[in-house]
Amino acid sequence: MAEESKRLPPHRRNLVWITFQWILQGFFGIWLQYQSRHKERLPARGGGVLISNHQSFLDPLLIGLPLKRPISFMARDSLFRIPLLGALMRHTYVIPISRRSASSTSFRAAIENIENGNMVCIFPEGTRTDDGAVQRFKPGFLALIKRTDTGIYPIGIAGAFRAMPRGAYFLHPRAVRVVYGEPIPAETVKEYCERGAEKELLALTHERVIECQRQAENWLDPESQK
């Protein structure tokens, strides 16, 4: 199956990805009343960087669920040593990150993925939220943006921190919404970087994600959150 993934074009999902989408669409649709909007704002082909708020362990599944192309996420390399989980992650485009040493290998892998036409998703908050609000962004992802000359695709998730808050072992039946925001074009990103305005670009990206999250939160049925 790993060889199959390597042979497929970057915009094509492998069988493992498609199977999990099929299973989770039914389960999340019922248990989480899952819905998403504006997935058409993501390009059908070509590389890019998705930037999302981080509400729960479910976030990668929630982001990738409605899409017709695979997304690469990053995860601790220690998780790859868990037999079943590690095999699953290797077949679903996950990039390992080492927390014991410099992440240059992971950084190069992310660059290679984007340059080969894949999309990589990053959670710049660095950790899950405690209250659903979007936290301050760490600027590390800007180096990846600058190296790949790509656009930024903001995403907002709402409700996931209620469905699976930090410390929870079980998934609560709470409604979840995902909004894919208006992209920041590669030309705009390049203009910010060329004039040394990375802090402004960081602030703009943060604002776009907050707006997506606000739209997703407003979309939730208030009764479902009780």
| pTM score | 0.88
Here the CATH number for the domain that contains residue 206 is 3.40.1130.10
pLDDT, tens digit only, all 226 positions of the chain = 444 445 566 667 888 889 989 999 999 999 999 999 999 999 999 999 999 999 998 999 999 999 999 999 887 777 778 877 777 887 788 888 776 654 677 888 889 989 999 999 999 998 899 888 999 999 989 999 999 989 999 999 999 999 998 888 899 999 999 999 999 999 999 999 999 999 999 999 999 999 999 999 999 966 445 5
- Full domain range(s) for residue 91: 2-225
Number of domains comprising the chain: 1
C-alpha pair distances (Å), 86 with each of 76, 120, 151: 11, 19, 30
As a whole number of angstroms, the distance between CA 138 and CA 114 comes to 20
pLDDT at 2: 46
As a whole number of angstroms, the distance between CA 220 and CA 175 comes to 7
**How far is residue 22 CA from its own chain's centroid?**
19
Helix axes 141-148, 186-194, angle to 10 degrees: 110
Residue for token pair 């390399």? 77
**How far is residue 149 CA from its own chain's centroid?**
19
Q: What is the DSSP letter of 92?
A: T
